[in-house]
Copies of this chain bind each other. A is one copy, B any other.
Amino acid sequence: MAADAIGPLGITTAEEEAYRHIQRALRMGRYRAGDRLIPEEIATEIGMSRMPVREAFRQLAAEGLVVIRPNRGCIVAGLTLDEIYETFEIRSALEGLAVRLAMPHIDVEVLEELERQLDRMERASQTGSSDWVVRHQAFHLQICQLSNRPKLVRQIASLHVVIEPYLRIWFDYVDKPASARAEHEILIDVLRSGDAGKAEIVMRDHIVETAPLLANFASPGRR
CB of A87 within 8 Å of the partner chain? yes
CB distance from A26 to the nearest CB of B (A): 16
- Interface-lining segment among A38-46, A53-61, A183-191, A214-222: A53-61
Q: Identify A151's interface contact among B87, B94, B150, B151, CB under 8 A.
A: B87
Q: Are A149 and B86 in contact (CB under 8 A)?
A: yes
Residues of A within 8 Å of B, CB-based: how many?
28
Q: Are B151 and A90 in contact (CB under 8 A)?
A: yes
Complex interface residues of chain A between 25 and 67 (CB less than 8 A to chain B): 54-55, 58-59, 62-64
Q: Are B62 and A58 in contact (CB under 8 A)?
A: yes
Q: Are A16 and B70 in contact (CB under 8 A)?
A: yes
CB of A165 within 8 Å of the partner chain? no
Q: Are A90 and B155 in contact (CB under 8 A)?
A: yes
Q: Are B89 and A97 in contact (CB under 8 A)?
A: yes
Residue of B whose beta carbon sits closest to that of A200: B93
Q: Identify A86's interface contact among B86, B90, B152, CB under 8 A.
A: B152
Contact (A62, B63) CB under 8 Å given A70-B13, A70-B16: yes
CB of A18 within 8 Å of the partner chain? no
Q: Are B89 and A152 in contact (CB under 8 A)?
A: yes
A89→B12 CA distance, assembly (Å): 33
CB of A199 within 8 Å of the partner chain? no
CB of A83 within 8 Å of the partner chain? yes
A93→B58 CA distance, assembly (Å): 27
